[in-house]
Every structure is written in structure tokens, then in C-alpha cells.
Amino acid sequence: MQVEPWVVLGFCSSIFFIGFTGVLIRKNILIILMSIELMLNAVNLTFVAFSRQLHHMGGQMSVFFIITVAAAESAVGLGLVIAMFRTLRSVDTDDIRLLRE
């Protein structure tokens, strides 16, 4: 019994769209950042699956750079969350309306 490549890639896309749904349906900005991490992880797994399937190391190298970008992104993103909480006393994305008023 074998695992077909389309099963692995379909699993990656389902994780990606779970994260995508999380960005759409949640209003807590921390959960939105976590959903972005989920999407990045799904893309990483797709890279590794293709790297193994095509016997090419470029996919695994891309994963390293994506992990670096994800670490920098979450550091800056959580800094933004702290700045937002200090200004608005809230982590609800509906409270970000300084430009609308």
C-alpha cells in the first residue's frame, strides 16, 4: 500500500484552506496571525513533497528561507499587535477604524 502524491498535496491544500478560513471568520488578531502560520506550514509541506517526488533539493532549500521569513514576520506582527493593543485596548479587528471616523 502506497501513499499517492495527490493525497499528500490534497492534504497540504486542505490545511492551507483551513488557515484561509481562519483568517476570514475570526476577529481576534492573534488567531489571524496563527492562521497565517498554518498557511505557511502547508506551503512548506508542499515544497518538501515536490522535492521528494522530483528528486530535487531546491524545494527543501526554499523551506529554510520560508521558515526564516515566517519567524521575522511573526516577530514584527506580534510587535504590531502590542502596538495596536496599546492604542486601542483591544485585539478585535473591528476596532481598527481610526481612518473611517
CA distance 93 to 29: 6
Q: Grid cell 483591544 — which residue?
A: 90
- 40, 43, 61 from 35: Cα distances, Å: 9, 13, 23
Q: Is residue 43 at the binding interface for other proteins, with CB under 8 A as the rule? A: no
Q: Is residue 96 at the binding interface for other proteins, with CB under 8 A as the rule? A: no
Looking at the Cβ atoms of 95 and 100, the one nearer to other proteins is: 95
Residue closest to 70 by CA, chosen among 49, 45, 39: 39
Closest distance to other proteins from the beta carbon of 29 (Å): 9
Looking at the Cβ atoms of 46 and 100, the one nearer to other proteins is: 46
Looking at the Cβ atoms of 57 and 99, the one nearer to other proteins is: 57
Q: Is residue 83 at the binding interface for other proteins, with CB under 8 A as the rule? A: yes
